[in-house]
Amino acid sequence: MSTAGARTRRRLGAAALPVGVAALDGLVVNAVQAGPVLWGALAAAGALVLRRRQPELALAAGIPGLYLGHLAFAPLIALYFLAAHRRSAIPGAVGAVLVAVAQFLPVPVGDMTLLRLDHDTVLHTLDSCAFGAGAFVLGRSARQRRERLREITESREREHRLLARHTLATERARLAREMHDVVAHKVSLISLQAGVIQVAEPGAPAVREAAGTIRDLSVDTLTELQHLVGVLRADGGMARDLAPQPRMADLGTLVEESALPVELHLGDPAGPLPEAVERAAYRTVQEALTNVRKHAPGARAEVRVGPAGGRLCVEVRNDAPDGSAVPPELPAGGNGLVGLRERAHLLGGSFTSARLPCGGFLVRAEFPVRTSAPD
């Protein structure tokens, strides 16, 4: 079934009711007797096919029916569509006046001299005005209701678009934080391993091992970047998620690959943690260790993750940097701690960072064990 054919059938079905009612009115009034009056009535009924595109023509064909046998349905239906389908109310008002006048004038018009200002004339005048005004008011009311529904629909569509844009912007900000955490951590490791190659003897096993590590880290970093950029380019990036997602169980591997003297203490939470909380804990430790490599080379670090007062506490502290260690030449974007603070606040937690009297640095974040924040 073609779309055009289905549309044509719907239009014919919609026109069948008004045309049929007007034709039945003409047949009943004229007692199914063939003649000019009946043909005029049927022509007025057939003109209602134009009621949507050319309601003026339909009304012009229907008004004579009031003189050809008191046919009411054809002009009233045409007047209703004229008032409903024209933006301005003037055409409908003019049509209502014409219908009222045609209803009021006697047949033939020469009998106008018989009209007197009496009770019957007043009642006939009111009946004629109600005859034309009723269809006009109904048509305008239908148009106003249709416009109001359209405004409500457009308003809701705008709200949905704004909500979608806000959600997409929030998702892109989250992906930007993930990109910063992943890239900063991986690149700092690459820089550290490159420093090993620089000071090692050519051909030594340490050089081959460091070169292999650099290769693996570079591949991992590029893979993460390709995935993140693919999500950012996708229309509605929330349909895809970061894979694989780090969890607290991966903290041991993170510490082992950090190339730092780190002491890890993992507490056993009372129950399962939300995925967002576990990922935030992992990213907090990751960013803190990255900062240790960048700003405190050679320093020892201590990582503690565990429950505390009904919340999950993540604490990373490091000693003062070793003066003999060469710091890696990595750019400091200044967004790491800001991103950690935003992540903690989004989950309903808290974040603090401060320098220690011993010259080290402390990063501490607390996350609610049960959170209603979106993942």
| Residues with Cβ within 8 Å of residue 182, at least 6 apart in sequence | 221, 224, 228
Give me the pLDDT at residue 364, please. 94
Give residue-wise pLDDT tens across range 50-90: 777 788 888 877 777 776 656 777 787 888 888 888 888 88
Give me the pLDDT at residue 92, please. 83
- Strands 350-355 and 361-368, bridge-based pairing: antiparallel
Give me the pLDDT at residue 128, please. 78
- Interatomic CA distance for residues 375 and 364, integer angstroms: 21
The predicted model gives 114-120 an average pLDDT of: 65
Quick check: 255 pLDDT over 80? yes
DSSP 305-321: EEEETTEEEEEEEE-PP
Quick check: 267 pLDDT over 50? yes
- Residue with the bigger pLDDT between 34 and 374: it is 34
**CATH architecture group of domain 247-375:** 2-Layer Sandwich (3.30)
Alpha carbon 357 to chain centroid distance? 50
Asked if the bond preceding 108 is cis, omega within 30° of 0, the reply is yes
Q: Would you report the helix, strand and coil content of the chain in percent, each value rounded to 5?
A: 65, 10, 25
Give the three-state DSSP class for 259. Answer: coil
Domain range annotation of the chain:
3-115, 247-375
- Interatomic CA distance for residues 340 and 326, integer angstroms: 27
CB contact at 8 A, 47 and 57? yes
The predicted model gives 152-157 an average pLDDT of: 87
